[in-house]
Amino acid sequence: MAQRQHPGGDLAAAFAAARVRLGLVVALFVLAGVGWWWAAGQMRGMDDGPWTGLGTLSWFLGVWVVMMAAMMFPSVAPTVALYSRMTRSRSPLAPVAFTGGYLATWAGAGLVAFGIGAGVARFPGDPLAWGHAGRPVAAVTLLVAAAYELSPVKDVCLRRCRSPLGVLLGGWRDGWSGALRMGVRNGAWCVGCCWALMASLFALGVMSVVWMALIAALIAVEKTLPARRLTTYGTAAVLAGLGVLLLTAPDAIPALTVPGSGMTSMAGVTPPSR
């Protein structure tokens, strides 16, 4: 019977594998950097604050997948490196298939988000407009995300993300098709861990590089720092604070684009109009 892996040991194993597979990790970080550069160019002038319009499906999905690569590759790199070290085939395509499966899961999550946005847009009167329900709904979204950070479901999903060795061993599949399936499975745990943070990104401005960077930083901190519970409590505090400010004093939130005002709450910064 296989012994149950300790999460801390799994994380150490992942980083040890990352050091061994340094070239692979560097490649993922380079791709993440390219993703940040490309996404920043595509999103320039598109930030309309909370509940920014998502555009067409093809445009949004393309930007979304690149965003996920930019935001997630740094924190998932140790897991990909660990998989690469463990794979029996030693095929250079196996880590690519694993990463592709991971991104495919996040692409599916993007399709769900777009479907929800398109469904809400069909309601008459633009219910998510800032002057209607947009502001309180955004604030509640942040508060719900803060509560989810402290939930048992979040804890289980985060444990899986921080314990890649156990996840890989528990669902091992050989070959490139197996790598794809394992990547999808790993991505599913990641979506379960991070969906509330992504919902917060929509509530703050999905086309804002500033909020994209904040959410990416929170994800990386949760997945890599040793004190798991301390990091989730810290993330919950950040989200709850933003939710309260969004409801009571949105102008006090740095870099928040207030819809319809033609300016962000950061003095002297005026975003281009869409």
pLDDT 10s digits, 56-109: 999 999 999 999 999 999 989 888 988 888 886 567 788 999 999 999 999 999
156 in a structural domain? yes
4 in a structural domain? no
32 in a structural domain? yes
Between 202 and 87, residue with greater pLDDT: 202
* Tokens of residue 259, six digits: 């819809």
269 in a structural domain? no
Instruction: Determine the pLDDT at residue 2.
Output: 41
pLDDT band at 172; cut points 50, 70, 90:
confident
Domain extent, residue 163, equals 10-251
Mean pLDDT of the chain: 86
272 in a structural domain? no
Residue 166 near residue 4 (C-beta atoms within 8 A)? yes
Q: What is the mean pLDDT of residues 220-248?
A: 92
pLDDT 10s digits, 117-157: 999 888 888 888 888 899 999 999 999 999 999 999 999 99
User: Closest Cα partner for 189 from 150, 156, 224?
Assistant: 156
Q: Tell me: pLDDT of 20 over 80.
A: no
* Tokens of residue 194, six digits: 């991070």
- For 169-205, b where at least 16 C-beta lie within 10 A, e where not — what string? eeeeeeebebbbbbbbbbbbbbbbbbbbbbbbbbbbb
Q: Tell me: pLDDT of 35 over 50.
A: yes
256 in a structural domain? no
175 in a structural domain? yes
Instruction: Determine the pLDDT at residue 132.
Output: 87
The tally of domains found in the chain comes to 1
273 in a structural domain? no
Q: Tell me: pLDDT of 8 over 90.
A: no
